[in-house]
Structure 1
Amino acid sequence: MVRSRAMRISLVAMLQTFVRRAVAAPALAKPAQTRSLWYQVGYNQDPEYFVKTINRTLHDDGVMTQLDQRFAHEKKWQRRIRKKAESEIRDLNKRMAMIVNFCLKKQNRGRV
């Protein structure tokens, strides 16, 4: 119980840190127009089709070009900050995947 509570607290702290950084970063260079992409993938539909659609939309909007230009002109200290943030996101994704896998295994064993 204590371990799971500590894990929950650390996950909450990581999520708060991630959200703070995610909110602070776009405030510096906000694009003129933003939109959210939402695709509902049906049960028998291929998710790779939607990934291609999202990538095509990002390319058409010029998002990837802007990111490439920003990375090409960034300073070393900016690169370190970006890399650290990306690393934190990867670590958070790994932890979330572990939690989801644990829940799925528990469900498959019939304990839910």
Structure 2
Amino acid sequence: MYENFSDMYENFSDMYENFSDMYENFSDMYENFSDMYENFSDMYENFSDMYENFSDMYENFSDMYENFSDMYENFSDMYENFSDMYENFSDMYKNFSDMYKFLF
């Protein structure tokens, strides 16, 4: 009978050890899932930041294009004004030349 109790105690002891190991394994598994969730959360945050940065970069390039377009338009207007000015000076020179010829 003592041998049966000893075997029974040994079986319960093994069973307790197995449950303890199982609890430890579940605890490790929970910790791993928790770390994995945290990593996915960080990854999502990083992708979100990256998207925001690309969005800002696109907006900056768009503004830069608009500024270059305005600058081109301004240079074009300036060229046109200089061309008109040259034409006016040319006409003025011609008029002075004609007047000089007429007077002398």
Query: Structure 1-normalised TM-score?
Result: 0.32
Higher relative contact order (CA 8 A, sep 6+): 1
Larger Cα-atom Rg: 2
Q: Select the structure that is richer in helix.
A: 2
Query: Structure 2-normalised TM-score?
Result: 0.35
